[in-house]
């Protein structure tokens, strides 16, 4: 493997740009929530949510009822403790 080879570098850059290896982050996105609320669908962009994946083709948000502390975020990702579960939202007026 010659890391200075242009074909190798091109292939590596292509892989990094096209493959979404995934990630998860907690987001308190007041601006995005307000924009969705103004558009009449606040539950499509909850203020507090988890974002996953980098590419727009595979990303989705998991809404949270409110802010979460750092240790709770870590707990969500810890496979050695009981799992959090998703709950279907109750009918809400939009």
Which ranges of the chain have pLDDT less than 50?
94
Q: Are strands 24-28 and 60-63 parallel, antiparallel or unpaired?
A: unpaired
What's the pLDDT at 83?
85
- As a whole number of angstroms, the distance between CA 56 and CA 41 comes to 19
Query: Residue 89's pLDDT is what?
Result: 72
pTM for this entry: 0.65
The H or E element spanning position 10 is helix 6-18
The 3-state DSSP class for residue 12 equals: helix
- Please tell me the predicted confidence (pLDDT) of residue 26: 92
């Amino acid at each position: 493997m010659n890391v200075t080879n242009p074909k190798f570098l091109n292939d590596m850059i292509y892989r990094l740009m096209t493959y979404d290896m995934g990630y998860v982050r907690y987001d308190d996105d007041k601006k995005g929530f307000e924009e969705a609320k103004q558009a009449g669908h606040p539950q499509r962009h909850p203020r507090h949510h988890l974002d996953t994946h980098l590419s727009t083709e595979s990303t989705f948000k998991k809404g949270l009822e409110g802010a979460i502390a750092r240790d709770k975020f870590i707990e969500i990702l810890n496979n050695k403790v009981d799992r959090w579960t998703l709950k279907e939202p109750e009918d809400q007026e939009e």
